[in-house]
Structure formats: C-alpha cells, structure tokens
C-alpha cells in the first residue's frame, strides 16, 4: 500500500503540472528512485497504471531512473557510496554513516502532449 500512496502523490504532481501548462495529455513521466528507498518498482508501476486510469496520465509511460546511495562517514570525514542500508563504510568499515542520497523518490520530468 506504500506504493499506492506514492502513485497517488505522483498523479497529484502530474495533474498540477498539466493544469499549469494547459496540456491535455501526458506522454511520459520520469521518476528518480533512490536505491535505498524501499520502493518496489514493479508494484509502483502497477499502482501508477491503476490510479492514472481515466486521468490525463492514462497510458503514460513511466520511466524509472535509479539513484545510487551515498552516505557521509564520520571517521573518514568523507562522502562514500552506499549499496544497501546497514552496509559498512567501504573505506574504513565503520557503521557510523549518515545517509545523504538514495532514500528519495521524485518526479524528474513530465512530458506532455
Ligand atoms: Zn569510513
């Protein structure tokens, strides 16, 4: 159900954009989803198709771009790549990491007709 509320949020953004641009139809939507965000892309696609039925985004293509995870390592004093939440710092092995990227999901582009 997490993905359903995300899909509804995406539709809200799409509708606001469409109204602001006086457009009639949405061709495609580009999403950026962080690899640490716990968003199930297949489930999100399914929910997106369901919530956009009979809306301006009906039949729109959903493109998904994965955003790599990054974290700030306290001992290293540096930004390091993070594949998974709970992983250690790849440089020093510390777990004192503050996630800085990869947990977000955002609508990057909306292509209207
Ligand atoms: Zn480190």
Give distance in angstroms: CA of 96 to centre of ligand 1: 8
Give distance in angstroms: CA of 92 to centre of ligand 1: 4
pLDDT tops 70 at residue 1: no
Three-state DSSP class for 111? strand
- The pLDDT tens digits of the residues spanning 2-25 come to 899 999 999 999 999 999 988 889
Average pLDDT over residues 57-73: 96
Give distance in angstroms: CA of 82 to centre of ligand 1: 11
CB burial string 58-77: b at 16+ within 10 A, e below: eebebeeeebebbbbbeeee
- pLDDT > 70: percent of the chain: 99
pLDDT tops 60 at residue 107: yes
Per the DSSP assignment, residues forming a β-bridge with 99 are 71
CA distance 105 to 81: 18
At 61 the pLDDT is: 96
Give distance in angstroms: CA of 100 to centre of ligand 1: 14
The label of the residue with tokens 């989803």 reads 33
Give distance in angstroms: CA of 31 to centre of ligand 1: 30
At 29 the pLDDT is: 98
Give distance in angstroms: CA of 8 to centre of ligand 1: 38
> Rounded mean pLDDT of the chain?
95
Give distance in angstroms: CA of 15 to centre of ligand 1: 43
pTM of the model: 0.85
């Amino acid at each position: 159900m997490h993905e359903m509320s995300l899909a509804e949020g995406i539709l809200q953004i799409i509708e606001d954009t469409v109204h602001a641009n006086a457009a009639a139809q949405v061709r495609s939507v580009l999403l950026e989803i962080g690899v640490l965000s716990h968003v199930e892309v297949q489930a999100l696609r399914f929910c997106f198709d369901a919530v956009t039925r009979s809306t301006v985004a009906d039949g729109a293509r959903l493109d998904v771009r994965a955003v790599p995870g990054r974290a700030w390592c306290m001992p290293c004093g540096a930004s390091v790549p993070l594949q998974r939440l709970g992983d250690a710092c790849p440089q020093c092995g510390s777990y004192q990491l503050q996630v800085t990227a990869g947990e977000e999901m955002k609508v990057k582009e909306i292509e209207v007709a």
